[in-house]
């Protein structure tokens, strides 16, 4: 039970304080949803939850079928949100209870590397919108949840702004479109208004409401992107793994972020890639300094590794890069040979009046010709 020595905050007050602490709207919404689910289980109003939450009934809630069948990441998020709220409200857990509510480390991902072949098959099957979405995810390394909330006003040419309020942990930034992703996005934007009208007509009678004056770049939700990505993957590959919720595709929208990290690092360098991905555990923000112009230039210089349907161009750029490296190697060898020749000539001139030196050089030349 909450102790008398600590402040007891209602859920509305707690969420208000999170907002004042500049937590992201996404984080606050997740906390509210987690606490609301717990309140529903206890059959109490959300604003009365602080009066009824105890260590005992919280642990009982964790043992319900509704909670246990949630995805592992969802369970961890709910567990973290509720236990944190209860601890701040003074709920005391004994040693065994603490072991139950402690948030464990994430489970090993049950996916596999997303291959270029699978991406190409998915692009062949996708409509204009999903072609743009997939190319966007691969080119930017952005999270699918962020992508679903990007606005038309966030796009400026090849540069996309990830606003702090939609970014994980409030860490927004700038990401970039390669030439291929820009082409697919331009094609999508030409069809966007028609697509919205047709989509709204399909759901007109089932009570789904689109945000008024929908300004989202892709005009669809995260769940829509996730479901349609899964459908395309199922048709292109279809390999699954077993989870608590049944069979799950071995590739998800997040696989595009992993694809970006793996391939972009080969041509752009790890510092730039980690900076674009905004990983909180990486220290380049503290030690690496690059201007926005430098980041964009370096991205475009190495962007070809992220092409999906431009396979020929991808190969040509790769061969060109390899040829350039060979030319640089030959130039280095030639420069070394010239340096040695210059030293040899200078040495000969410095010792031209020494009969023994001249004799030794002549003998060496004869031996060299024999070989």
Q: What is the pLDDT of residues 57-105, one digit of tens each?
A: 988 988 888 888 877 778 888 888 888 888 888 888 888 877 777 765 5
Q: Which of 46-60, 71-85, 125-139 has the highest mean pLDDT?
A: 125-139
Specify whether the CB–CB gap between 221 and 209 falls below 8 A: no
The verdict on pTM exceeding 0.75 is no
Contacts of 82 (CB under 8 A, 6+ apart): 34, 35, 38, 53, 58
- Asked if pLDDT for residue 315 goes beyond 70, the answer is no
Q: Which helix (H) or strand (E) holds 107?
A: none
345, with CB counted inside 10 A (0-12, 13-18, 19+), is exposed
- Model confidence over 141-188: pLDDT tens digits? 999 999 999 999 999 999 999 999 898 878 899 999 999 999 999 999
| Nearest one of 56, 62, 45 to 10, comparing CA atoms | 45
- Model confidence over 244-276: pLDDT tens digits? 455 566 788 999 999 999 999 999 988 899 889
The mean of the pLDDT values for the chain is 82
pLDDT band with cut points at 50, 70 and 90 for residue 192: very high
Contacts of 2 (CB under 8 A, 6+ apart): 8, 50, 53, 89, 90, 91
Note the pLDDT of residue 278: 85
Note the pLDDT of residue 174: 94
Q: Which helix (H) or strand (E) holds 160?
A: strand 159-162
- Asked if pLDDT for residue 1 goes beyond 50, the answer is no
- Asked if pLDDT for residue 320 goes beyond 70, the answer is no
Helix axes 128-140, 116-125, angle to 10 degrees: 150
């Amino acid at each position: 039970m909450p102790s008398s020595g600590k402040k007891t905050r209602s859920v509305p007050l707690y969420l208000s304080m999170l907002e004042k602490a500049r937590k992201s709207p996404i984080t606050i919404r997740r906390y509210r949803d987690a606490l609301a689910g717990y309140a529903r289980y206890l059959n109490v109003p959300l604003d009365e939850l602080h009066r009824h939450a105890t260590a005992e009934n919280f642990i009982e809630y964790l043992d319900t079928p509704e909670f246990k069948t949630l995805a592992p990441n969802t369970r961890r998020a709910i567990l973290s949100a509720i236990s944190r709220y209860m601890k701040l409200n003074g709920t005391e857990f004994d040693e065994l209870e603490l072991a139950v509510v402690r948030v464990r480390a994430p489970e090993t991902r049950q996916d596999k590397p997303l291959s270029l072949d699978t991406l190409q098959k998915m692009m062949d099957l996708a409509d204009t919108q999903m072609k743009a979405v997939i190319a966007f995810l691969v080119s930017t390394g952005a999270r699918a949840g962020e992508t679903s909330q990007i606005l038309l006003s966030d796009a400026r040419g090849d540069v996309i702004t990830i606003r702090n309020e939609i970014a994980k942990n409030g860490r927004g930034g700038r990401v970039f479109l390669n030439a291929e992703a820009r082409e697919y996005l331009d094609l999508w934007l030409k069809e966007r208004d028609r697509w919205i009208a047709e989509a709204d007509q399909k759901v007109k009678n089932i009570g789904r409401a689109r945000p008024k004056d929908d300004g989202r770049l892709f005009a669809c939700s995260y769940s829509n992107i996730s479901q349609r990505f899964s459908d395309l993957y199922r048709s292109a590959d279809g390999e699954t793994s077993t989870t608590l919720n049944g069979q799950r595709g071995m590739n998800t929208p997040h696989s595009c972020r992993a694809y970006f990290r793996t391939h972009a690092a080969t041509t752009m360098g790890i510092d730039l890639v980690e900076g674009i991905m905004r990983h909180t555990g990486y220290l380049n923000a503290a030690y690496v300094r690059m201007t926005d112009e430098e980041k964009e230039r370096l991205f475009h210089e190495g962007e070809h590794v992220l092409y999906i349907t431009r396979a020929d161009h991808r190969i040509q750029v790769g061969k060109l890069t390899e040829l350039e490296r060979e030319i640089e190697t030959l130039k280095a060898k030639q420069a070394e040979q010239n340096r040695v020749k210059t030293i040899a000539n200078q040495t000969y001139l410095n010792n031209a009046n020494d009969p023994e030196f001249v004799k030794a050089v002549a003998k060496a030349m004869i031996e060299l010709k024999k070989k």
